[in-house]
């Protein structure tokens, strides 16, 4: 099974025969057999050359780059082969049709809320917080514009965050969501996790005929692949949040795994490795699919959402958003 590789250390990546190697600053090398590489995520300062890039491009391998603090900077992706003008036109038409756009945007919010409530019930938080979210969902179908829908989504997530201090143990506290910049360990982990979720969704979109810049819940704009943000809404509470809860509550990550600089807090290299190891393990976990009647990994569930969206755009089958049943 192919998997993503995460390069934390500084060094270089070079090609030799049919294998690519990562060399650290001391000259130690690690082989990355091309057949086993899905994507490469580069967190350290890594030197590359065109020989290596041309080689991995033949296999459709994407390179995701992250800054010093571990947050997404950009992606190199090879020339896209899986393209369809018809699908692009249909995707655009769905965006321009307000009824269609609202249907899809509401689907993403409903799925996110389903997985949020699933987490809250699992950890047995106060029922009042759960009821507040259910109240927001009760009138969700009556919403007639995207701005109002985004307001509801924001209130759902705000109530969800109120439950974090009932879920988390071992001295980790959550006061409020702070993104730019994150100022405490919980915000640092949420931002780091959301960033890696975003790039993984982008990778799966790239493997389909979807255009990542045409979105429905988040407003399409320049300089971002906003469809990745839409689809990531489904998977953040399903994948990222449980990873954070597990790492904290099982003491696999502690406050020594973070670095503080003035008003900024971010994961150390050791903290990043712990988080990414947990993330990759989660993405390779398989679940028996009810319709396909076979085991499907969490990563494949993302791809399947993309395929379902394509079927909706071309009017083959109405989109039914993923809601975890397991």
Q: Which residues are annotated as part of the binding site for Mn(2+)?
A: 153, 218, 233
Which residues sit in the known binding site? 153, 218, 233
Q: Is 217:305 a contact under the CB 8 Å cutoff?
A: no
SS3 319: coil
Q: Considering Cα of 178, then 180, then 183, then 188, what sign does the dihedral take?
A: positive
In angstroms, the Cα distances linking 42 to 2, 11, 118 are: 17, 10, 33
CA–CA separation, 220 and 217 (whole Å): 9
**Rounded Cα–Cα distance for residues 322 and 170 (Å):** 33
**What is the full DSSP assignment across 233-291?**
HHHIIIIIHHHHHHHHHTTSS-GGGEEEETTEEEE-HHHHHHHHHHHHHHHH-EEE-TT
């Amino acid at each position: 099974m192919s998997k993503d590789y995460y390069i934390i250390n500084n060094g270089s990546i070079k090609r030799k025969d049919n294998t690519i190697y990562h060399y650290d600053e001391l000259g130690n090398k690690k082989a990355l057999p091309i057949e086993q590489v899905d994507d490469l995520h580069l967190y350290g300062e890594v030197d590359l050359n065109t020989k290596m890039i041309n080689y991995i491009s033949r296999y459709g391998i994407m390179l995701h780059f992250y800054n010093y603090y571990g947050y997404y900077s950009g992606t190199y992706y090879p020339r896209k082969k899986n393209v369809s003008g018809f699908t692009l036109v249909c995707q655009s038409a769905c965006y321009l049709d307000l009824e269609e756009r609202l249907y899809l945007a509401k689907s993403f919010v409903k799925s996110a809320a389903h997985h949020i409530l699933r987490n809250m019930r699992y950890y047995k938080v106060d029922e009042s917080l759960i009821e507040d979210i259910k109240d927001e969902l009760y009138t969700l179908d009556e919403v007639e514009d995207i701005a109002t829908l985004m307001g509801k989504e924001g209130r759902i997530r705000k109530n969800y965050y109120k439950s974090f201090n009932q879920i988390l143990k071992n001295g980790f506290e959550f006061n409020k969501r702070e993104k730019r910049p994150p100022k405490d360990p919980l915000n640092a982990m949420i931002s780091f996790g959301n960033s890696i979720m975003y790039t993984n969704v982008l990778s799966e979109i790239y493997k389909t005929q979807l255009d990542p810049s045409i979105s429905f819940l988040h407003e399409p704009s320049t300089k971002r692949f906003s469809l990745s943000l839409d689809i990531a809404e489904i998977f953040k509470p399903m994948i990222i949040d449980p990873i954070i809860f597990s790492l904290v509550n099982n003491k696999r990550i502690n406050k020594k795994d973070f670095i503080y600089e003035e008003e900024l807090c971010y994961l150390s290299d050791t903290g990043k490795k712990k988080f990414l190891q947990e993330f990759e393990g989660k993405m390779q976990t398989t679940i028996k699919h009810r319709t396909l009647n076979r085991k499907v990994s969490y990563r494949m569930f993302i791809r399947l959402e993309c395929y379902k969206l394509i079927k909706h755009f071309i009017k083959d089958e109405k989109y039914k958003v993923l809601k975890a049943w397991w």
